[in-house]
Chains A and B, each alone.
Chain A
Amino acid sequence: MLHARIDGWATATIAHPSLKGQKIVFCTPVDDEGKDAGMPIAAVDPIGAGRHARVFITTDGSWSRDTVHDATSPIRNQVIGILD
């Protein structure tokens, strides 16, 4: 699990079919104090986190495949929680 901040979004018409209809966000990993800690990554966001929200991201591909109901999905990163 990664602790990250939502910093942007992306749209893609041409993509793996399992990304169809999914919201794609850019997240910047942050450390415990909220400072940036790494290169931005993209994640699927099924829960609708807002701009600059602090979130948890899973990098578990098998869990992501289950949630998109597609065993051939290469998707790994998914927003799974918004920090209060």
Chain B
Amino acid sequence: MKPGRVIGTVTLSQGAPQFRGARWLVVSPMGKDELTGTNAGLSRASTPVVYDNIGAGVGDEILYVEGAEATQPFPDPIPLDAINVAILDHHAYAPPS
């Protein structure tokens, strides 16, 4: 699971049939500066598009899973690389100084 901030959404006019009704989030991965609050903006990491079925919106902080495990919640094969698994209420991050 990786932490990320939702910075946008994507809609498709054409897509694989398994994606009917899917919501897609554009996510800025959160590194140390974003988790500690030093940087409230975008991180330098590239922004994945993440499947969402729990209802995250722009500005939410989420945990997303990348890789084959992302398809695990689905009963049938689905061409998916990343899925949102949690919308964060609170978090703390304090590496030793």
Contact of B1 with A72 in the complex, beta carbons under 8 Å: no
Interface residues in B43-97 by Cβ distance below 8 A to A read 45, 54-55, 63, 65, 67-74, 83, 85-96
Tally of A interface residues using CB under 8 Å: 32
B90 (CB) vs chain A CBs: closest residue: A11
Residues of A within 8 A of B86 (CB): 10, 12, 14-16, 19, 24
Tally of B interface residues using CB under 8 Å: 34
Q: Measured between alpha carbons, how far is A20 from B1 in the docked complex, in Å? A: 15
Interface residues in A22-67 by Cβ distance below 8 A to B read 24, 26, 28, 36, 39-43, 51-52, 61, 65
Q: A14-B54, A16-B73 are in contact. Are A74 and B95 (CB under 8 A)?
A: no
Contact of A16 with B69 in the complex, beta carbons under 8 Å: no
Of the candidates A26, A43, A52, A76, the one whose C-beta lies within 8 Å of that of B67 is: A76
Q: Measured between alpha carbons, how far is A10 from B60 in the docked complex, in Å? A: 13
Contact of A76 with B65 in the complex, beta carbons under 8 Å: yes
Known: A8-B94, A9-B92, A10-B86. 11 other contacts (CB 8 A): A7-B93, A10-B3, A12-B86, A16-B85, A26-B3, A71-B72, A73-B73, A74-B65, A74-B70, A74-B85, A76-B65
Residues of A whose CB lies within 8 Å of any CB of B are: 5, 7-16, 19, 24, 26, 28, 36, 39-43, 51-52, 61, 65, 71-77
Residues of B whose CB lies within 8 Å of any CB of A are: 1-3, 29-32, 35, 45, 54-55, 63, 65, 67-74, 83, 85-96
